[in-house]
Amino acid sequence: MSVNEPNRTEEQLLEPEGAGGVAAPALQREERRALAAPQAPTRPGFHPREFLDEVVLELRKVIKPKRSELVNYASVVFFTLAFITALVYGLDYVYSLGASQLFK
């Protein structure tokens, strides 16, 4: 590698942007820091009032299910839970019979 060849960092800075094929100029160190640094909040710290206001705003976006939808969802959950419970019980029973026959 000669002195005149660009290193990996320089090549990354000079990679073409998008489909234009035009090479982007290398950013100055300060510009790169400004782009990479997260913006600090105007008021640092935790503010309970602001938090509660945001909670209320988010809760206003929630759509409550109608009674028929709630009954439908609850029944699906109940029957799925009953099915999985019966499946685990059945597999446990079958494996216990097999283990008792194996270790007799």
pTM as predicted = 0.43
Domain carrying residue 103: 65-104
Q: What angle do CA 59, 65, 71 make, to 5 degrees?
A: 140
**Alpha carbons 84 and 90: distance in angstroms, whole number:** 10
State the pLDDT at residue 46.
81
Q: Tell me if 103 is assigned to some domain.
A: yes
Write b or e for each residue in 65-79: b if 16 or more Cβ atoms lie within 10 A of its Cβ, otherwise e: eeeeeeeeeeeeeee
Q: Which of residues 27 and 104 earns the better pLDDT score?
A: 104
Q: Tell me if 37 is assigned to some domain.
A: no
Q: Are 22 and 15 in contact (CB under 8 A)?
A: no
**Mean of pLDDT over the chain:** 80
Q: Tell me if 57 is assigned to some domain.
A: no
Q: Tell me if 2 is assigned to some domain.
A: no
Q: Tell me if 102 is assigned to some domain.
A: yes
Q: Tell me if 85 is assigned to some domain.
A: yes
pLDDT band of 91, cuts 50, 70, 90? very high
What sections of the chain are H helices per DSSP? 8-13, 29-36, 48-60, 67-102
How many domains in the chain? 1
Q: Quick one: average pLDDT of 86-103?
A: 95
pLDDT tens by residue, 9-59:
666 666 665 544 444 455 566 666 666 656 655 667 788 899 999 999 999
State the pLDDT at residue 90.
98
